Amino acid sequence: MNAPTSVTVRVPAKVNLRLAVGPVRGDGYHGLVNVFHAVSLYDEVTVSPRSDLAPGQAVLSVDGERPDHVARVPLDDSNLAARAAALLARHVPHATGVHIHVHKAIPVAGGMAGGSADAAAALVACDALWEGGTPRERLLELAAELGSDVAFPLIGCTAVGTGRGEQLSPLPVQGTFHWVFALVDGGLSTAKVFAEYDRLRPDAPEPTLDDALVAALAAGDARRLGAALTNDLQPAALALRPELGDLLEAGRAAGALGALVSGSGPTCAFLAESADHARELAAALRASGTCADTVTAHGPVPGATVV
């Protein structure tokens, strides 16, 4: 069989249903109990061989519907997708240089793990392109080496992440939940939000899972899920971007079952009762003038998939 000439992988964004953050550890990371939920907002990553580049070396290009987001994607070796190609190339026999093209729909630096999703997609796409046959467990380990949020988009659906967020166990979920994501101008640095968290919470307790959240997911109960959503990084994100408080309040006033900053922000997530309710909520949020735009999505959805 001939090797493929290009491989495209579709990969979902995530929202954190619970982000419990413990004290800072000796290695500078924070112990987390992080409930990841994959939603139907996808980047597409296409890799094709480049014979003029060394094995594992990558050139990047990016396009997408939001020029302000596209412009913020780094096109050099600091891009996590390029680092994913370089890392995998050290572990498979027939690696080549690659062109990595990212079609972006996930907000950039938005707290929805878009950069991590692209890295996960690049691992899967390069492994298929290079016919590496890397076992899933090994891909998960390589993903965890790249960043705390890179392993989750490989498995998708809903999972709890412990350690620095990279040790994953799937959580049972019934049915589908409907979401609105409110986009705001500019991004937030994850490292800066964690640093602000340390300033606000020098006494942070050890993070725990919440039985009410687990039960709401297992029952497919959106109302109970909405009441159980929490994010310990939210006060830190609000301290850095106080205007997000008005956005969350606008969503609650418009009938969201739950409202929270997604991950380290600044994107905010709102839980709706149904797909119709999500569309109404999105319209109300846009009319409130507290966000730049909205997208609707549902979850859980599967992880990175070759298309």
The site for ligand C5P (CB under 6 A) is made up of 29-30, 32, 147-149, 164-165, 190-191, 194
Cα–Cα distance, 296 to 29 (Å, whole number): 32
Instruction: Tell me the HSE value of 205 on the side-chain side, using a 13 A CA sphere.
Output: 3
Residues 6+ apart with CB under 8 A from 206: 22, 23, 31
Cα distances (angstroms) measured from residue 76 to each of 71, 190, 191, 236, 251? 13, 20, 20, 29, 37
CB of 197 to ligand C5P, least distance (A): 8
> Is 14 labeled as catalytic in the residue annotation?
yes
CB of 16 to ligand C5P, least distance (A): 12
CB of 26 to ligand C5P, least distance (A): 12
> Is 293 labeled as catalytic in the residue annotation?
no
CB of 214 to ligand C5P, least distance (A): 21
DSSP labels, 184-237: -SS---HHHHHHHHHHH-TTPPPP---HHHHHHHHHT-HHHHHHH-EETTHHHH
User: Which of 52, 149, 198, 293 is flagged as catalytic?
Assistant: 149
Toward ligand C5P, which CB reaches closer, 16 or 290? 16
C-alpha of 298 from chain center: 14
User: Which of 14, 104, 118, 232 is flagged as catalytic?
Assistant: 14
Toward ligand C5P, which CB reaches closer, 44 or 166? 166
Amino acid 199 reads R
Toward ligand C5P, which CB reaches closer, 147 or 299? 147
- Is residue 192 within 8 Å of residue 112, measured between CB atoms? no
Instruction: Tell me the HSE value of 157 on the side-chain side, using a 13 A CA sphere.
Output: 13
Toward ligand C5P, which CB reaches closer, 167 or 305? 167
Toward ligand C5P, which CB reaches closer, 191 or 287? 191
CB of 163 to ligand C5P, least distance (A): 8
Residues classed as catalytic: 14, 149
